[in-house]
Structure 1
Amino acid sequence: MKASVPMSSVRYLLKAAEAQGLDRQTVLSSLDITHDEIIQHDTFPAYRYGMLYQKIMWLMQDESFGMLSGGKVPNGTFRMMCLCIIHSRSLAHALYRCSDFYEICRGPTIKPVLIKKGRFAMVTFAPLASSSDNIEALAVPESKEQLRTTLSMWHHFICWLIGRRLSLKAAYFTSERPDDVEYYKTLFQSEVRFNQHANALVFPASYLDMPIVQTEDSLRGFLKTAPYQLLVMVENDNSLKSQVMAMLGKDFSREMPSAEEVASALNMSVSTLRRRLNEEKTSYQLIKDDCRKEAAITYMNAPQLSINDIAALMGFDEPSAFFRSFKKWTGMTPGEYRKSEEYLKFGKAMRRT
């Protein structure tokens, strides 16, 4: 089972890069991606999409590339923002600090804003106090991929901060209703509304009191793979398997939800969850194992990550435990894998980024 993104996301990314002067073929060739792959398939492997996104952000010198920001965000900005919020006492405190950080950093003209109303809270976006730009001018129908990417990345980032999935009540978009509404529902696992007055993530306010579980140590490994863990990581369908994959995400440094917790979040009994997954010829345990295996291989393909880095990203307290699991998943130890042809192929592509 390979997590993938819709090819429309890849085409949008390449089109946006071309519009800003990058040569498409040069970018694709540097990552061993062929033109035929882009035009002949409906989906694209998630880990390769992460490599492509990382490459384009580096070439553009813009960490907000493809997102709602109103301007270029210099490389290194995201790291500094994370360091500013990683010691926050709660999610609410971290989000308020994010907003303050955007007010003083160079590049963007739009910042995230936290609004609390009764039982629910909302993360939306607003112009900086020093900006005269109108945020509505940036939310045109042609930017629906930009809006979806923005809300998806912020959703995954918040999940990473608190070490668990942020269960949304709804995701709001100012763009027109797209053709692939089901993909939005799979991605956000919530109600999705279009033609709204703002782009926003709406969730129970109780999450705001949750502590930030990440540390400067866990941040280092996270940054080495960014934006991989923040990108879309589900199949382009609305199968139950895809919904479960969306809930698991790609942050395995946190404890995975139990089958009971997943079933409850999907408003079904555990027996129904098991039966329906069985009908799709899979199981919750198999999905978890496959997701962890894929994530481990993705991290192993990144030469900038040490084995200890990868063990921490995968949630193992001891590297030796990761060694045993990796050999169980692949039939090779991490050291043997990094001498294999598969690693030499993908490691070469990663080193070009």
Structure 2
Amino acid sequence: MKKNSLSVASFNLILYAAQQRGADYTTLCEKVGLTPEMLQDPDARLPIKKVQVLWKEAVEMTGDKHLALHLGESINTVAVGILAYVMMHCPTLDKALEKLCQYQDIVCDGSKTTVFIQNDLVYVTLTQISDEMLYPQYAFESELSIYHAAMEGMIGKDLPLKSVHFNYPAYSDSSEYQRVFQTQEVVFESNFTGIVFEKKYFHLPIINANPNLFPLFDKHAQSILEGLNQDNSFKEKVKKEILDGLKGEEPSLFNVSRSLGIGLRSLQMKLKEEGVTFQQLLDEIRKNLALQHLQESHLSTTDIAYLLGYSEPSVFFRSFKKWTGYTPNVYRKNPKMVA
């Protein structure tokens, strides 16, 4: 997959929302360095850097500092494309959110969506994974507003939110956030970014879902995702297998080579040609996941050690200190200390 990219279809949604608020389409395209012809193929990809320029210019041209926040109100969520169709034909909301997490990269691979339940509350969280996302607030606010609008559309009723969280400082008062998300509890400088609602809504049926259409759209989404991944380097393929194997145990070189249908020596040689070793990739993935998980307050350090495939928490502690110079607990208290 072309990393740090966004689908043209999603790019066009931002353009459309900006137009609705008075921005000139042609001028906006020129400022971003694109022509309308380049935006005709909805399955094409654009660099996230271009999207960041678009957000900045669109906000300036419309004078709407909350343009991203208003995206969910401005568009028909079906316009998101195949991902929306897959979700619309899932039987229940929880299954739709499961598919959102599975196929999010089709829309954008700059952030990661995670869904979990804690204390009878459902958390839908966002984590930035692209260094090229210079203005993450635009991505986060637009995604959360679209998610909320889409979920209400799918269940055919209001989905009351307990709270909305952002892991960055406020750049205005909370009133517009409270209006858009219909909740009084809007928390900035939180330890996560996401929306929270009661578990009783999690298994509600999707209205108008067609069980006969779901496998068709699901298969199509799978083929698109596989197509995006065809351009991956061998290193990226190995990383994917490592990620898939992190389920309470350490992914072994043998298991990864077997999954890829390649011999151990051949796997090691191919990685050497790309300038890395298997252990380096494993450490890189574990470090990145650890940094993310340590910002999720519901996970203990023991939980995180298990999720990263360590047999003992003490081994995870030693590894984390080797990577960052800090213990997990020290980092958790001040996550900005690690670049």
TM-score with structure 2 setting the length: 0.44
TM-score with structure 1 setting the length: 0.42
